[in-house]
Amino acid sequence: MRLAWIPFSLATLPVTIVLLCYLYSAAADLIPACNPIFQGCTTISSAGRYGVAYYLFKAGMIPTAVLLGVFWPLCRRWYVSLGRPDSPGLRAMVWLGVISAVFLIFYAVSLGSSGEFYKFMRRAGVTVHFSFSYLAQVLLLNRLWYDCRRGLLEQLSPRIPMAMLTISLLMFALALYSIPVGELIPDPGNVVINIIEWNFALLLFGWYLPAGLAWRRTRFRAPL
């Protein structure tokens, strides 16, 4: 079966779920109302912590994690199907991607629970998920960029790895900027950190959109 719907779902499902959670929580006066992407009045976690949003967030994030766990092994199979050799980098990509999916489940399950253990699970879940997902994306991008530049992937438009590279560079810039903000620059209310978090998450999941275009353009098919 054609499987481009998986990366397309990864690009749309979590964003839609978080947006619905935020709109509900803000309308119910459970969190501040603003444009969090630009104003950073609240965190992503707060959007899915209260009321109906508590259940909606889990109902969206856990299937997203399952799709991630399926996506990365299939991504390795897709790349090999293009006539390119397997490599340790692709195998590492799979492990990083699957681990990131597992920690996204830890984060979703522990969100809204009290206690130091659940607090640790939330922090570990979001940190490992973001960092390992980004590293997996970079490993795939490295192979795509190298092979496209050498003309070894004629069936793939060079604009696709260029879009992936642009998104990855923006995420890298946000991560770098968060270091001085978090450690050196005063940030009352963590407004700047919240803005970085919202935008990084949006870019992280938006990265799967060009991946879906790549799968569709190359007509990738595999048993699910």
Q: Would you give the DSSP letter of residue 188?
A: G
Q: 171-198, pLDDT tens digit by residue? A: 999 999 887 876 666 666 688 888 999 9
Cβ atoms within 10 Å, residue 16: 12
Q: Is it the case that residue 113 has pLDDT exceeding 80?
A: no
Q: 12-55, pLDDT tens digit by residue? A: 999 999 999 999 999 999 999 999 999 988 889 888 888 899 99
Q: Is it the case that residue 95 has pLDDT exceeding 90?
A: yes
Q: CA triplet 12, 14, 18: central angle to 5 degrees?
A: 115
| Beta-carbon contacts of residue 150 (< 8 Å; ≥ 6 apart) | none
Distance CA 76, CA 60 (A): 25
Residue-averaged pLDDT of the chain: 90
- Mean pLDDT of all residues in 91-99: 97
- The 3-state DSSP class for residue 158 equals coil
Distance CA 119, CA 45 (A): 11
Residue 222 banded pLDDT, cuts 50, 70, 90: confident
136 burial (CB, 10 Å; 0-12 / 13-18 / 19+) is: buried
Locate the domains of the chain by residue range: 5-217
